[in-house]
Chains A and B, each alone.
Chain A
Amino acid sequence: MIKVENLHKTFGKLEVLKGINCEVTEKEVVCVIGPSGSGKSTFLRCINLLEEITDGAVYIGGAQVNDPKTNINDIRTEVGMVFQQFNLFPHMSVIDNVTMAPMLIRKMDKKSAEELALELLDKVGLREKADNFPQQLSGGQQQRVAIARALAMKPKVMLFDEPTSALDPEMVQEVLDVMKALAKEGMTMVVVTHEMGFAREVADRVIFMDGGYIVEEGLPSEIFANPKNDRTKAFLGKIL
């Protein structure tokens, strides 16, 4: 589904990603963990080209994302993304946030787009908030709307960039629950997270990144129970 080959990313003189190789298969849930500054968010943002790729290649469903001939907008419709800061559109009601892209890009008519949106809002438990505006919702509710908004494009892959890091502690679980349900349905997911409990429980594979490299990867049970690399040990020792 996703294939990353020798991915390099530099910001000016700073090399953030120093050659990442990885593959995510269909229906797989991959959690990316690591200390801040390790490049995990940048890695995620390179997958749908929110960051320009300096060198290497990323393929989604066979198409090379950073090939100039590829229409990146088409690829992005297949790749949903959820941000740390939610980034809901504040000038639109909740339901309009969800229906905008399907109507604009998939050319859905208003009625079926709204049906779809209500179905998705139901799924994230916020059907009754359809007519509210984002700033009337709590952080956890906003993030769940953001997930519904991404799902409205019926993506094949979902990318989560620290989806619970900006939330008050009591709201973390409601977002994780939605993600868990999504994983159970067989969505392919790449999740950058600090929620080790979630990674342990839901991930099929955990990737540990540090200093711009993938240092270690494997089953969550292996990584959390006996990490092999010293840096992984040190990191997990600090946070578990």
Chain B
Amino acid sequence: MDFLFNLRWDIIWNYRELFLQGIWITIVLTVSGYIGGIILGVFLGLGKTSKKKWIYWPCKIYVDLFRGTPLLVQILIIHLALIPTIFGHSLGVMFSGIAALVLNSAAYNAEIFRAGIESIDKGQTEAARSLGLTQGQAMRKVILPQAFRRMVPPLGNEFIALLKDSSLVMVIAVNDILYAAKVVAGAYQKFWEPYLTAALLYLILTFVVTKIVAYVERRFSIDYNPRKNKGGRVAR
């Protein structure tokens, strides 16, 4: 256990700005990947509930492709092959990194949205349609408000998973937390200090996110607790 007492935390302090920047980059990656992934995921998820084959199949193939291959491979293909082929040159590692996270998490979110929508009883759609609502109105007013409540917990898990998965973009040299650790490790040939620091930073971030997710869950995923709705109406 001697090594524990010989750890040189001062080298981490020397590189504190690199780590701080890494934290910021990790947050940017995760948040933009998550938001983009939700927007794209909604459309993919709705597409996967469609009865029209020309909508259903492209969405299904997309989701299967991105869920069936490693994110690390996707990052490399997107950065080194896909983007240079489409644009003729790289758009920067940050762009590639965010793009990969958006495209990947969208596939997982699509399944969450699809399952959420399909979990709502068919009678709900029928009741709405029998009142004269269009398919779109029934979706917006009746199905999605109920489905969203059920989607909150899995979407929260997806956020935490994405936060940790974002470390994979280090492979294309995005300067996130893990990249900072790697730089320090390379410079000093010391491995405990930088990688433990990286692990600790991720742990703190996931802890904070878990708290946020738990709050959002309490707020939204409760099953129509009428006490939450007080103040809406008064005695008439």
Kindly specify which of B60-68, B140-148, B165-173 makes contact with the partner chain.
Answer: B140-148
CA–CA, A83 and B129, complex, Å: 12
Minimum-distance CB pairs A-B, first 3? A77-B132, A87-B127, A81-B130
Contact B224 A48 (CB under 8 A): no
Q: B118 at interface (Cβ–Cβ under 8 A)?
A: no
List, sorted by A's number, 7 A–B pairs whose CB atoms are closer than 8 Å: A76-B132, A77-B132, A81-B126, A85-B121, A91-B146, A93-B233, A135-B224
A30 to B223, CA, bound (A): 39
Q: In the bound complex, do residue B137 and residue A104 qualify as a contact, i.e. CB atoms below 8 Å apart?
A: yes
Contact A90 B146 (CB under 8 A): yes
Give the residues from 70 to 101 in chain A that come closer than 8 angstroms, CB to CB, to chain B.
73-74, 76-77, 79-81, 83, 85, 87-91, 93, 95, 100-101
Q: How far is the CA of A89 from the CA of B149 in the complex (A)?
A: 14
Cα distance A81–B236 in the bound complex, in angstroms: 29
Asked if A87 meets B132 with Cβ closer than 8 Å, knowing A131-B233, A132-B226, the reply is no
> Distance (Å) between the CB of A113 and the closest chain B CB?
13
Besides A89-B128, A93-B232, 18 more A-B contacts (Cβ < 8 Å) are: A48-B130, A73-B132, A79-B130, A80-B131, A81-B130, A87-B121, A89-B142, A90-B146, A93-B229, A93-B233, A101-B131, A104-B141, A105-B137, A118-B236, A130-B233, A131-B232, A132-B226, A133-B224
Q: Report chain A residues within 8 Å CB of B132.
A: 73-74, 76-77, 101, 105, 153
Contacts of A93 in B (CB 8 A): 226, 229, 232-233
Number of interface residues of B (CB under 8 A): 25
Q: Judge whether B124 is part of the interface by a CB distance below 8 angstroms.
A: yes
Q: How far is the CA of A83 from the CA of B126 in the complex (A)?
A: 9
Say yes or no: is A165 at the interface (Cβ < 8 Å to chain B).
no
Chain B residues lying within 8 Å of A104, measured Cβ to Cβ, are: 133, 137, 141
Q: How far is it, in angstroms, between the C-alpha of A101 and the C-alpha of B134 when the chains are bound?
A: 11
A149 vs B133: C-alpha distance when bound (angstroms): 13
Tell me if B123 is interfacial: C-beta within 8 Å of chain A: yes
Report chain B residues within 8 Å CB of A10.
none
**Which range contains the number of A residues in contact with the other chain?**
20 to 34
| Known A-B contacts A89-B124, A91-B146; A50 and B130 likewise in contact (beta carbons under 8 Å) | yes
B interface footprint on A151-179 (CB within 8 Å = 1, 0 otherwise): 00100000000000000000000000000
State how many angstroms separate the Cβ of B226 from the closest Cβ of chain A: 5
Give chain B residues whose Cβ lies under 8 Å from the Cβ of A133: 224, 226, 229
Asked whether, in the complex, the Cβ of A101 is within 8 Å of the Cβ of B142, the reply is: no
A119-134 residues with Cβ-Cβ distance < 8 A to B are: 130-133
User: 1/0 per residue B210-236: CB within 8 Å of A?
Assistant: 000000000000011010010011001
A100 touches B141 (CB 8 A): yes
When the two chains form the complex, which single residue of A77, A90, A131 contacts B131, counting CB atoms closer than 8 Å? A77
Q: Which of A50, A88, A100 is in CB contact (< 8 Å) with B126?
A: A50
- Interface residue ranges of A200-228 to B (CB < 8 Å): none
A88 CA to B142 CA, complexed, in Å:
10
> Which residues of A sit under 8 angstroms from B128, Cβ to Cβ?
89
A229 CB contacts on chain B under 8 angstroms: none
A130–B224 alpha-carbon span in the complex (Å): 15
Residues of B within 8 A of A54 (CB): none
Provide the residues of chain A in CB contact with B145, threshold 8 Å.
91
A91 touches B133 (CB 8 A): no
Interface string of A17-59 (1 = CB under 8 A from B): 0000000000000000000000000000000101000000000
Q: Which residues of A130-144 have CB atoms within 8 Å of chain B's CB atoms?
A: 130-133, 135-136
| Docked complex Cα distance between A131 and B129 (Å) | 24
Task: Report chain B residues within 8 Å CB of A50.
Answer: 126, 129-130
Closest A-chain residue to B126, C-beta based?
A: A50
Question: Complex: how many Å from CA A146 to CA B131?
Answer: 11
- Counting CB contacts under 8 A, is A150 at the interface? yes
Which residues from A are CB-within-8-Å of B126? 50, 81, 83, 87
Q: Can you name the residue of chain B whose Cβ is closest to the Cβ of A105?
A: B132
Q: Given B141, B226, B233, which contacts A136 in the complex, CB threshold below 8 Å?
A: B226
Residue of A nearest to B148 (CB): A91
A149 lies within 8 A of B131 (CB): yes
